[in-house]
Amino acid sequence: MDRHEYSALELREGIARRDFTAREVCETVFTRIRAWDPKFKIFLASDEQGAYSAATEVDRKLAAGESAGPLAGLPLALKDNLCTSGFPTTCASRILEGWRPPYNATVVERVKAAGAVLVGKVNMDEFAMGSSCENSAFFPTRNPWNPDCVAGGSSGGSAAAVAADLVPLALGSDTGGSIRQPASFCGVVGLKPTYGRVSRFGLVAFASSLDQIGPLARNVEDAALLLSVIAGHDQRDATSTDLPVPDYLLRLKEGVKGLKIGLPREFISAGIHPEIKTALDTAQKVFADAGVELIEVALPHAEYCLAAYYLVATAEASSNLARYDGVQYGQRVSGDNLLEMYAATRATGFGAEVKRRIMLGTYALSAGYYEAYYKKALQVRTLIQRDFEQAMTKCDLILTPTSPTTAFSLGEKTKDPLTMYLSDVFTTSANLAGLPGVSIPGGFSSEGLPIGLQLIGKAYDEETLLRTAYAFQSRTDWHTRRPAMEEAK
């Protein structure tokens, strides 16, 4: 096995045993990036200098017998909406081009302190708005399984970086499925933690009541390892919860006998690609063999998830993105007066999808429409939360496909935003309810594209969620398949 195929835990062991150094791991990563990034367009900015100096520090500590942290020497890619001190953070938007935050996001601080080697910032849909990475202001990221297909989004860069074996670990953010859907499209593991589990401080906000940062990795163990490092209360985020964080690796392999998995009939019935339906059926057998009881549950308001999500998310986004006005930082386009400066800056700086959502959200919050749209969406959100509470009294987890389709072709859905929004039909419910969800590799289509399965757990019970995902992974080999990438011509 080549070193780039090592999982994070394998790399960690190798570095700890001094089979190879963190610097050597770093060299492998940048060799891979140089070879493959021109083809898949994953990185917005790589940081060789920073990475090598972090790796060297890990090697020095280990040589000196010091502890170097649970992520010592492990290469990690960051979605470009996570603030990195002194290093460009663009959210894949022209409006933030050239901006260097004066501070690190809390998660960035935590992974650095744990010894991770940050190799750079990866592509995304502009301000995390999108399901294909095609809304990046710079370039779309391509799917390592088929470069003519999208990587998914919005954390497409994070998923592709892991799938292409450029890095074993990446951080993404998930507002309506932005970690899970690209993980599913790229055949990797992607976890959205419970709302409040991971600090959002330093995550450039899209929709504050839905956003959560989470890990992407090639397998469940690696995702568990990274979650253990980033989870936990942060005084700088008033919505982060002060609950103890378990070591998610500790009980990962304890099995799932006796657990109950609910299948929401509303999600299973319609609109799923037959091959995905087959994968879901197969998965049920796998879980049954592992000793899980499968039951049908009801989520009566599931059909309103997408509508509620796109109202809440756009409303919050319209406010969160108002600060990009050209006054203080980022790009400014001059005008004859203040209003023209605002208009020109925002008209030039934002892409079409971001503008569309700002307008939708502004409309939903406007006098005369607030009651009918935003307020109604909040009420629906409460009903959806109750649906899950009800369902979860009968089961421990819920199983659905992650996405109704596999990765689609580049350009296939850009003309029709509504079809694009439908990609999020299974994932938005977890954000609205604040519950943890994970996408795991669950099969392949006849075209050789990965199929993802989603498990949704109880609030703050990422432990059971990961244990169940691991039980599935240990009985299947989907996660071990690698894309047959061909060199760019």
Partner 1 sequence: MDKNYEIVIGLEVHVELATDSKIFCHCPTLFGAPPNTQVCPVCLGLPGSLPVLNRQALVLAMRAALALESTLAEHTKFDRKNYFYPDLPKAYQISQFDQPLALGGSVEIAAPAGPKRIAITRVHMEEDAGKLIHQGAGGRLGTAGSSLVDYNRTGVPLIEIVSEPDLRSADEAYAYLIALKEILQHTGISDCNMEEGSLRCDANISVRLRGEQVLGTKAELKNMNSFKHIRSAIEYEARRQIRVLIEGGQVVQESRLWDEEKDMSYPMRSKEEAHDYRYFPEPDLPVITITAEVREAIRQSLPELPQARRQRFRQKYALNEYNAGVLISSRELADFFESMVDCQAPAQAACNWLTVELLGKLNAEGRRITQSPVSPEHLAELVRMIELGKISGKIGKKVFAEMFQSGRAPEDIVAKQGLSQISDPGVMRKMVDEVLAAHPGPTAEYRNGKTQTLGFLVGRVMQASGGQANPKLVNQILKERLG
Residue from 7, 41, 46, 79 carrying the catalytic annotation:
79
Considering only residues 316-375, where is the footprint of partner 1 by CB under 8 A?
Answer: 316, 318-319, 322-323, 325, 327-329, 337-339, 342, 362, 365-367, 370, 374
Contact 136, 91 (CB under 8 A): no
- 3 state DSSP class of 215: strand
Q: Which of 155, 129, 133 is nearest to 142 (CA)?
A: 133
Mark whether 285 is an active-site residue: no
Query: Which residue in the block uniquely carries the two structure tokens 């790796």?
Result: 55
Of 95 and 272, the one with the shorter C-beta distance to partner 1 is: 95
| Total residues binding partner 1 (CB under 8 A) | 45
Which residue pairs from 31-38 have beta carbons closer than 8 angstroms and sit at least 24 positions apart in sequence? Answer: 32/4, 32/164, 32/165, 32/166, 33/119, 33/120, 33/166, 35/487, 36/164, 36/166, 36/485, 36/488, 37/166, 38/488
Q: Which residues of 395-417 are buried (b: 16+ CB within 10 A; e: fewer)?
A: bbbbbbbbbbbbbbebebbbeeb
For the bound state, the minimum distance from the C-beta of residue 317 to partner 1, rounded and expressed in Å, comes to: 11
Nearby residues of 458 by Cβ (< 8 Å), 6 or more positions away: 392, 396, 397, 435, 436, 464
Considering only residues 229-288, where is the footprint of partner 1 by CB under 8 A?
Answer: 235-239
Kindly state whether residue 83 participates in binding partner 1, applying the rule CB under 8 A. Answer: yes
- The count of other CB atoms within 10 Å of the CB of residue 253 is 11
Residue from 178, 228, 318, 423 carrying the catalytic annotation:
178
Contact 457, 388 (CB under 8 A): no
Q: Which stretch binds partner 1 (CB under 8 A): 7-15, 27-35, 76-84, 474-482?
A: 76-84
For the bound state, the minimum distance from the C-beta of residue 329 to partner 1, rounded and expressed in Å, comes to: 7
- Binder of partner 1 out of 124, 315, 395, 438 (CB under 8 A): 315
Q: Which two tokens stand for residue 403?
A: 């996405």
Residue from 131, 154, 429, 439 carrying the catalytic annotation:
154
For the bound state, the minimum distance from the C-beta of residue 310 to partner 1, rounded and expressed in Å, comes to: 15
Q: Distance (Å, rounded) from C-alpha 462 to C-alpha 487?
A: 38
- Binder of partner 1 out of 144, 202, 215, 262 (CB under 8 A): 202
Kindly state whether residue 103 participates in binding partner 1, applying the rule CB under 8 A. Answer: yes
Contact 68, 58 (CB under 8 A): yes
Alpha helices in 73-154 (DSSP H): 106-113
Mark whether 184 is an active-site residue: no
**DSSP structure string for 277-317:** HHHHHHHHHHHHHTTPEEEEE--TTGGGHHHHHHHHHHHHH
Mark whether 112 is an active-site residue: no
Angle at 373 between CA 205 and CA 359, to 5 degrees: 50
Q: Distance (Å, rounded) from C-alpha 194 to C-alpha 216?
A: 15
Considering only residues 207-226, where is the footprint of partner 1 by CB under 8 A?
Answer: 207-209
- Binder of partner 1 out of 205, 276, 283, 380 (CB under 8 A): 205
Kindly state whether residue 109 participates in binding partner 1, applying the rule CB under 8 A. Answer: no
Q: Distance (Å, rounded) from C-alpha 230 to C-alpha 82?
A: 13
Kindly state whether residue 414 participates in binding partner 1, applying the rule CB under 8 A. Answer: no
Kindly state whether residue 459 participates in binding partner 1, applying the rule CB under 8 A. Answer: no
For the bound state, the minimum distance from the C-beta of residue 435 to partner 1, rounded and expressed in Å, comes to: 17
Q: x-or-dash pattern for partner 1, window 147-186, by CB under 8 A? A: ----------------------------------------
For the bound state, the minimum distance from the C-beta of residue 220 to partner 1, rounded and expressed in Å, comes to: 29
For the bound state, the minimum distance from the C-beta of residue 203 to partner 1, rounded and expressed in Å, comes to: 6
Q: Which residues bind partner 1 (CB under 8 A)?
A: 81-83, 89, 91, 96, 99, 101-103, 105, 200-205, 207-209, 235-239, 315-316, 318-319, 322-323, 325, 327-329, 337-339, 342, 362, 365-367, 370, 374
Catalytic residues: 79, 154, 178
